[in-house]
Structure 1
Amino acid sequence: MKFFFCVIGMVMIVEGLPYFAFPGKMKEMVQKMLGIEDNTLRKFGFVLMLAGLCIIYVFMKGQ
């Protein structure tokens, strides 16, 4: 459980960093995302989840 919360904390750091470092650019990106179709965003999210799963698999398999 300790490892799980460590991972969640790291994800929150990585997710929050662009908002902290570049708030103006993040606002612009959110505005652009409003114009992207739902299916495109869904596919992009799926690809990111799949990539994350592959990374976890590769690195956990080595241990």
Structure 2
Amino acid sequence: MSELLVALGLVLALEGTLYALAPGAMKTAIRQMLDLPDQTLRTAGLVALAAGVALVWLVRG
């Protein structure tokens, strides 16, 4: 359970860093995402999910 909380903390730290360093770029990215079809976002989410699971699997073996 503590590893899950550490992972969540890392995600929040990375997200926060992006918003703190480049808020304008993040707003632009969000506007562009709103124009994408749902299927494209879903596919990108599934690819990110698979990459994350594969990375954890490789590291934790």
Question: TM-score, normalized by length of structure 2?
Answer: 0.92
- The one-character-per-residue Cα deviations of 1:7-60 (angstroms, maximum 9, x if unpaired) are 111111112211110001111111111110000000000000000000000000
Long gaps (5+) in structure 1: none
Kindly name which structure, 1 or 2, has the bigger radius of gyration based on alpha carbons: 1
CA RMSD of aligned residues (A): 0.9
Tell me the number of residue pairs that the alignment of Structure 1 and Structure 2 aligns.
Answer: 61
Secondary structure at the counterpart of residue 17 of structure 1: helix
Q: Which runs of 5+ in 2 are unaligned?
A: none
Of 37-46 and 6-15, deviating more is 6-15
Residue type at the aligned position of 1:55: L
Question: In the TM superposition, what is the alpha-carbon distance from 1:2 to its structure 2 partner?
Answer: 2.1
| Segments ≥4 residues shifted beyond 6 Å | none
CA–CA distance in 1 between the matches of 2:37 and 2:43? 10
Q: Percent identity?
A: 33
- Residue of structure 1 in register with 2:42 after alignment: 42
SS at match of 1:48: helix
Whichever structure has more helix as a proportion of its residues is 2
- Residue 35 of structure 2 aligns to a residue in which SS? coil
Determine the structure 2 residue equivalent to 1:15.
15
